[in-house]
Structure 1
Amino acid sequence: MTELLRQRLFRDVHLGVLRAGDRLPSIRELARDLDADPRAVLTAYHELERQGLVNVRPRSGFYLAGGGRTPGQGSRREADWVVELLVQSLASGVSAPVLRQRLPACLGAVRLRAACVECNADQIASLAGELQGDYGIEAAGIEVGDLGLSAVDQALADADVLVTTPFHIPEVQAAAQRLGRPWLSVSLRRTLFAELTATPNRGRGFFVVADPRFAAKLPRLFASTRSVECPVAMVVGWDDLDAIPETAPTYLTRLARERLGDCPLTRRVRPVRRVFSTGSSRRILSFLVAANLSARPDAGVPA
């Protein structure tokens, strides 16, 4: 269990999902996600604390250790992640030279295009931006209300995959089946909600958006997170963002940050580079690798 958690920490740090000082999943959450005994998770956390990877804060939880960035820290983290990758590769029977040859074929053989389908500009921008930035998938936005229009159907047919969120699976699944295209559903990582948890010292959280339709959707988005109260929605150009307390937990969508530009709020609130859950990332990468491998000249040729 300790080794499994250590590998997850290295992976999430490398992907930018975790940073020093970030709160880690609770013992109950991890036990549920890993189908493990909570006592084993607690023991693993304390072992990682002994190794200097985790800090325990009484009555608060577990946090990723580390503070200011020191010279060589990024290189060491990258080296640790690469070592873990190579160890797992060797355990699967793939040597380092073979892995080096296979990676380009898995990631760079074809240029994929995605159609991001949602009901508001914030989520469309978030889906498209992360697909392009983290996976190299060209992405275009489609309003869910426009599904069925001839021009939109053509754009969907030209895409390699349709991507949406759990809220619009029925509509996108129907469109994908009608057009004969694959589709994926992307969910948000749980720690994103935890970062907005209200505390006596910091008060209630704020969620700054660009599209008022996303503001109206937030209560549904947070309905499944019993431990996190829905934050106050603020719309760029509509609400007084200066009224947000400096100490309040605050999240800015990618599009809201883009529209605000350089201002005290965007300087104060740390950008969240990645919002996709680990499961979503795995599904995207599985599709990406499968599409690239199937495009190889020798694909389908018996070995």
Structure 2
Amino acid sequence: MTDLASITVHLRDRIVSGLHRGRLHGGDRLPSFRQVAGYSGANPKLVADAYRALEGEGLVSIRGRSGVYVAEQERLGEGQVLSETGRWMASVIAEAWKRRIALPDLPEMVRRFTGSVPLRAAFVESTEDHMVAFCAEIEPALGLKCREVYIPPEGVREGSVEAARMRDQLIDADLVITTAFHSAFVHQLTEGMPAPLVAVSAHPDLGRAIHKRIQDGVLTVVCVDSRFADRIRLVYTGDHADRVRTVLVNDVWAVNRLDPSEPVLLTRAARRKLEDMELPIIVPHSPTLSFESVRELSEVIIRLNLERTDQTAISPVA
């Protein structure tokens, strides 16, 4: 993330996401040029250029030595819609015009591309924490129905009865989704199947929140499966794996001893089991998916909808 385009996209995504999820408001101070350069590895001058581009889009306000702030956002339609959303929709319409798509045709086109047929996804994972986190976002956000297919904790031997059983659970799926932890195995498992395979990744806000917490001290991970915490150590902590403390949600004694003022990494699966217990968290449960994963899933959804629509159109009438 060291070129102008990627820095601009990164900052835009963080600001837009923050505005729409209520984590950012007009007037909030944003990371400085040097702070962004520090965690991204980009030249501070490139970061400054990216912020200036976003200022031209009406997203930020650069106030000299005072810093960079979220620009005040006018609300449209009796306060229901942020002006940023209006600008985004205008750009969608303008891009459609370039492709000779008339505005009145857009809604039906979106429906045909994304909602012509119900799509069944099989999500393959071994930990409940990752399974619940991703499925809970994929289903409402992308309109997919996710079937949970668990890999046994001890793993699956290729060619075994268990592998055959898992393959049977995937055979009628329109697409198969997994994480990087299992993508190689699932690729072998789905070989020869028509369903496309997508390996999703986590939103970068998770990594940033973990790194910040570990720099400040100890990160407590409250989860269902200790292997989730092991993954956090493996992927995010580097030489500071000893700063990650695991608290399993079924360990009542450990849960009751949590400091209610200490922010924790709480998985969505663990929160469901805690029910009414409130804990401060280092990062919200949503967004879970990275932008790249949403983009890849969207492309697959569009392709599958168009293929199914074409098949329906040419199928003989009984």
- TM-based fold match above 0.5: yes
- Which residue of the partner structure matches residue 192 of structure 1? 206
- Which residue of the partner structure matches residue 286 of structure 1? 299
- Which residue of the partner structure matches residue 114 of structure 1? 121
How far 1:52 moved relative to its partner? 6.6
Q: CA RMSD in A?
A: 4.2
For structure 2, the 5+ residue unaligned runs are none
1:44 to 50, 62, 77: 50
How far 1:137 moved relative to its partner? 0.7
How far 1:256 moved relative to its partner? 1.0
- Which residue of the partner structure matches residue 188 of structure 2? 174
Q: Under a length normalisation based on structure 2, what TM-score does the superposition of the two structures give? A: 0.73
- Please tell me whether the aligned partners of residues 234 and 241 of structure 2 are also in contact (alpha carbons under 8 angstroms): no
- Please tell me whether the aligned partners of residues 121 and 211 of structure 1 are also in contact (alpha carbons under 8 angstroms): yes
How far 1:243 moved relative to its partner? 4.2
The reply on whether 1:257 has 2:271 as its aligned counterpart is: yes
The reply on whether 1:85 has 2:92 as its aligned counterpart is: yes
Partners of 1:92 and 1:31 in 2: how far apart? 37
- Please tell me whether the aligned partners of residues 109 and 292 of structure 1 are also in contact (alpha carbons under 8 angstroms): yes
Any residues of structure 2 matched to 1:3-82 within 5 Å, and which?
5=9, 8=13, 12=17, 16=21, 19-20=24-25, 26-27=36-37, 39-46=45-52, 48=54, 53-54=59-60, 72=79, 74-82=81-89
How far 1:156 moved relative to its partner? 0.6
Larger radius of gyration: 2
- Please tell me whether the aligned partners of residues 56 and 63 of structure 1 are also in contact (alpha carbons under 8 angstroms): yes
The reply on whether 1:100 has 2:100 as its aligned counterpart is: no
- Please tell me whether the aligned partners of residues 14 and 77 of structure 1 are also in contact (alpha carbons under 8 angstroms): no
Partners of 1:201 and 1:56 in 2: how far apart? 28
- What residue identity is the alignment partner of 2:285? V
- What residue identity is the alignment partner of 2:302? V
What percentage of residue pairs aligned between the two structures are identical?
Answer: 22
Partners of 1:180 and 1:102 in 2: how far apart? 25
How far 1:296 moved relative to its partner? 1.7
Q: Under a length normalisation based on structure 1, what TM-score does the superposition of the two structures give? A: 0.76
- Please tell me whether the aligned partners of residues 218 and 244 of structure 2 are also in contact (alpha carbons under 8 angstroms): yes
Q: Secondary structure at the match of 1:275?
A: coil
- What residue identity is the alignment partner of 1:122? D
For structure 1, the 5+ residue unaligned runs are none
- Please tell me whether the aligned partners of residues 23 and 62 of structure 1 are also in contact (alpha carbons under 8 angstroms): yes
Number of residue pairs aligned between Structure 1 and Structure 2: 292
- Please tell me whether the aligned partners of residues 195 and 249 of structure 1 are also in contact (alpha carbons under 8 angstroms): no
- Please tell me whether the aligned partners of residues 8 and 51 of structure 2 are also in contact (alpha carbons under 8 angstroms): no
- What residue identity is the alignment partner of 1:195? A
* Cα shift readout 1:46-77 (whole Å, capped 9, x = no counterpart): 454687734789xxx9775679x998264444
- Which residue of the partner structure matches residue 144 of structure 1? 151
Q: Secondary structure at the match of 1:83?
A: helix
